[in-house]
Structure 1
Amino acid sequence: MDLRTCLRQEGIELPIEIIEKLEHFTLLLQEWNRVHNLTGAKTVEAIYGNIIDSLYPLVFIERPKSLLDVGTGAGFPGFVLAAALPETEVVLAEPLKKRVAFLKYAAIDIGLENVKVEAKRVEGVEHTPFDLISSRAVTNTKLLLELTENISDSHTNYLFYKGSRVFEEIEAVQHQLDYDIVQKNQRNYLYIRGRV
C-alpha cells in the first residue's frame, strides 16, 4: 500500500509533493539504517507506521509558526512534521552524532529549508519561545516541561507522544495545565495548551 492511501485511511490529507518528500525520506532512512542502525523501523511498512504516528496530531493541533522537537532520533516526529509543515520553522534537537548526520543530510537531499538540526540535548538549545514543543519517547512529562522552561512561555503548546504511562505522568503536573489526551491505536497524544 502506498503512503498516500495509508494517510488517507487515517484522515490525513497532504499535497502530493509533501507525500513524495516523505516517500523519499522513507527510502533514505532505509538506506542509512542498514549501515548505521538509526531506528528499529526497518521495513517500508514500519517506517510508514512511524510517519502516520508522527502526522496524526495534525488533525487536532493548532499549526505552529515555530516547532522544537526534543530528541528527534531518526526523524520521528520532528522531521516528518517539518516536511508536512513547510511554513513552520523547525528545530530538531538530537545529541547522537550518527542521527544528526542523517537528519542534516536528509533535510538537504529532500529540500526542507525550514529545518535546523541542533547536535545537542534540549538544555543546550537557545531560542526565543517556541509555538510548539514536541517529543516522542523522551523522558517523563514533568521533566520535559522543566527542561524546556527557557525556550517556552505561556503561549507555547506541547505535543508529547506517549504510551500508557501518560496517565500517571499527567497526575504530577495536571493542576497547572490545560490538556487533552487523544488516543489512537496504542498511542496517547498529550496535547498541552500553554502553561499556567
Structure 2
Amino acid sequence: MKRAAALLAALVLAGCASHGEAPVPPRTVSGVDLTRYQGTWYELARLPMFFQRGCAQSEAHYDLRDDGSLGVLNRCRTLDGSWKEAQGNAKPQVEGRTDKLWVRFDNWFSRLLPGVAKGEYWVLYLDDDYRTAVVGHPDRKYLWLLSRTPVVSEKTREQLLEVAEEQGYDTDLLIWRTPDSALTPSPSP
C-alpha cells in the first residue's frame, strides 16, 4: 500500500512539473452572490471529461448552506433517458472570495484521497441577472457554458462562446446539449 501511495505521489508531482512558462490563468468575475447563484443551472455545452462520459444532458443544482458552502447535486441524463447523480459541496478557495471554488463530490475517489479529490470551479462570466454563466478550470481543461434554461437564443450562445474563446478555451471541442427529441423518453426521478 505504501509503495502504491508513493507511486501515485510521484506521478502527481511529475504531472505538476512545468515545461517552460505557465500560461496566464483565465480571469474570473469580481465576485459571486451565492444566494443568487443557487438554484438550477443547465449545461449548454462542456469540454470533454471522463466523469461526464455518456451524458447527453446535464444540470447542476446548488443550495446555499448555513456555513456559506454550496450543496451540489449534478444530474446527467444519458441517451437512453436514464439519470445518474453525484452529490458534493463547493467552498471558496479563499475565504471571502466567491469567484473561485473548490468542488468535492462524495464518491469512492474522494473517500480514498480526500485532500486530492477536489476540483477547481472558476466563475469566468456571469451576466447581471444570473441567467447565464461560463465556468472553467484554471488550466483550461474543463469548461461549462451554463444557463437557467436548457435552451438559449443564438445571440446568447454566441456571447458565451466569445467569452470562452477570449479566455483561451478551445470551443471547437465543446460537446453541446442533446435536444430532448433525440433522447429515449424515461420518467423523471
| TM-score (norm: length of structure 1) | 0.28
More strand by share: 2
Q: Which has the higher helix share?
A: 1
Q: TM-score, normalized by length of structure 2?
A: 0.29
